[in-house]
Structure 1
Amino acid sequence: MLTRIEVAADPVRDRCVLRTGDLSPRRLPAPYGVVRVALVAAGALLLAGDEVRIEVVAHGKLRLEIVETAGTVAYAMRGGSARWNVDVTLTDGAELSWHGEPFVVAEGADVERSTSVTLGEGCRATLRESLVLGRHGEAGGRLRTRMRAATAERCGELLVEDLDLSPGVRSGWAVLGDARCLDSITTLGHRLPEAPQTLQLEGPGSIARRLVSEQHASDLGTLWSDA
């Protein structure tokens, strides 16, 4: 079911329209010029047959902050599969900050996860995504992720990435190797500081990644605060 967050800058009070689907968005207190929205699971997630759809739209000079109140576990699906799709559109100088909590793919799960971001002129997005393959003591299930980002200034795609994190594929040295957690901060419309483990995109954007055996071992929390 579709979860939708739509916000628009207003000289009196920024407008916010929320629609509950598989996730329930709830507005939180925030200073002027900032709209802060929490995402709360409206039921058990993530199970076989689930198709989570999240649409985020922000217009005008404001900052939208999305926070997740808890991580998500994709449970064993007994031959089934699930999808998690996010579609973001920012226009007229809007900014988005989305701090994702760990997304855990348990043994026997089969998940496709996709994110699409479209940025208008002067817009910026900062996203944190923490993917964990398996709960404690598990090897983890099957996960495929897809990211597409485009900006008005480049009149085309800024980032195109497809990752197959399925068992037998993700253990390759060019993917995860011995790690079971992939922690990332992606900036679009602006760059992170130069650093050895940060990839600078050809256009305005960066990806900082950590491959770790346990999610809490990642140091991206500090970088997130700076970003």
Structure 2
Amino acid sequence: MTTTRIAVRAGHPRAQVDLVVGALAPRLVGRTSRTAHVALTAAGMLLLGGDRVEVEVDVGPDCTLELEDVGGMVAYRALGSTSQLTLAARVGSGGTLLWRALPLVVAEGALVDRRTRIDLDRGGRAVIRETVVLGRQGEAGGSLTSHLSIADPDGPVLTEDLDLDGSSPEPGVLGSERVLDAVIAIGFRPDPEPGSLELDQPGAVARHVGRHTHESSLDRVWASWAEQATSTAASRAAPEPTPAGVPHPR
């Protein structure tokens, strides 16, 4: 399948936003000279066994990109064939990525390999929301292998590997629960939340484990940390681009 690509660069009067449709179709919701809001929706039925879904994101220096899913994604029974979901993002110096993903539902019999990599330049920030649901209503759920890697110019900031199988629940992972919800903030110190994990480098992780998505309290955490990330970005943003021939105000 074609790779879905989303890139934003500062411009005047509006930012330059490049969108390439792949398995997911990005749609521009709005933009200013340094910000863009893009919605993602499936361009076809996803995820089927053997599907290869790739998403590449590039946030320019001092820009803010807000990504949101229009609908969640269901990984269907795979009949022994693994589906691959690869997400790669680069955030330029002083840039901000806000990526709010709706739940990935791993249906019974599905086999999913998900890999997420985020690279931050100096001063870059990211807040991402990831939710995994094992099984549809009445199902035990399929199998998910997930790898998350986040790095800045000094090296790795957060690396996680997760193996879930609804047919073989493991104590200390999800156990008998079926929902794993997480908000991850990187590149700044968000206000601490009850039970959140503060990272060695600037960043934090808040998680919820339970039976149902509506039981999670992380909507509020997402809203708070996203606002803090954009407030930090606004306070450090460079001056707006000035058209040729127009002097900067003194």
What's the TM-score, normalizing by structure 2?
0.86
Higher strand share: 1
Q: 1:32 Cα shift?
A: 4.7
C-alpha separation between the residues in 1 aligned to 2:193 and 2:100?
A: 21
Q: Where does residue 100 of structure 1 map in the other structure?
A: 101
Secondary structure at the residue paired with 2:27?
Answer: strand
**What amino acid is aligned across from residue 67 of structure 2 in structure 1?**
I
Higher helix share: 2
In the TM superposition, what are the counterparts of 1:73-222 in structure 2 within 5 Å?
Answer: 73-152=74-153, 155-167=154-166, 171-222=169-220
Call closer, same or farther: CA 1:222–1:194 in 2, change over 3 Å: same
Q: 1:12 Cα shift?
A: 2.8
Secondary structure at the residue paired with 2:193?
Answer: coil
Render the CA deviation track for 1:97-146: whole Å, top value 9, x for unaligned: 01100100000000001100000011100000110000000000000110
Render the CA deviation track for 1:17-58: whole Å, top value 9, x for unaligned: 110100011101245532000111100000011010000001
Q: Where does residue 44 of structure 2 map in the other structure?
A: 43
**What amino acid is aligned across from residue 216 of structure 2 in structure 1?**
S
**What amino acid is aligned across from residue 128 of structure 1 in structure 2?**
R
C-alpha separation between the residues in 1 aligned to 2:210 and 2:10?
A: 39
- Pair member with larger Rg: 2
**What amino acid is aligned across from residue 64 of structure 2 in structure 1?**
R
Q: Where does residue 235 of structure 2 map in the other structure?
A: none
Secondary structure at the residue paired with 2:221?
Answer: helix
**What amino acid is aligned across from residue 195 of structure 1 in structure 2?**
E
C-alpha separation between the residues in 1 aligned to 2:31 and 2:224?
A: 19
Secondary structure at the residue paired with 1:165?
Answer: strand
Aligned residues: 224
C-alpha separation between the residues in 1 aligned to 2:93 and 2:194?
A: 33
Secondary structure at the residue paired with 2:165?
Answer: coil
Between 156-165 and 185-194, report the one with greater CA deviation: 185-194
CA-based RMSD: 1.2
**What amino acid is aligned across from residue 170 of structure 2 in structure 1?**
G
C-alpha separation between the residues in 2 aligned to 1:205 and 1:150?
A: 12
Gaps of 5+ in 2: 226-250
Q: 1:13 Cα shift?
A: 1.8
C-alpha separation between the residues in 1 aligned to 2:48 and 2:161?
A: 23
Q: Where does residue 229 of structure 2 map in the other structure?
A: none
Q: 1:62 Cα shift?
A: 1.7
Secondary structure at the residue paired with 2:214?
Answer: helix
C-alpha separation between the residues in 1 aligned to 2:8 and 2:32?
A: 15
Gaps of 5+ in 1: none
C-alpha separation between the residues in 1 aligned to 2:73 and 2:211?
A: 18
C-alpha separation between the residues in 1 aligned to 2:174 and 2:33?
A: 42
C-alpha separation between the residues in 2 aligned to 1:103 and 1:115?
A: 14
C-alpha separation between the residues in 2 aligned to 1:84 and 1:94?
A: 24
% identity of equivalent residues: 40
Q: Where does residue 52 of structure 1 map in the other structure?
A: 53
What's the TM-score, normalizing by structure 1?
0.95
Secondary structure at the residue paired with 1:88?
Answer: strand
Q: Is the 8 A contact 2:13 2:32 kept in 1?
A: no
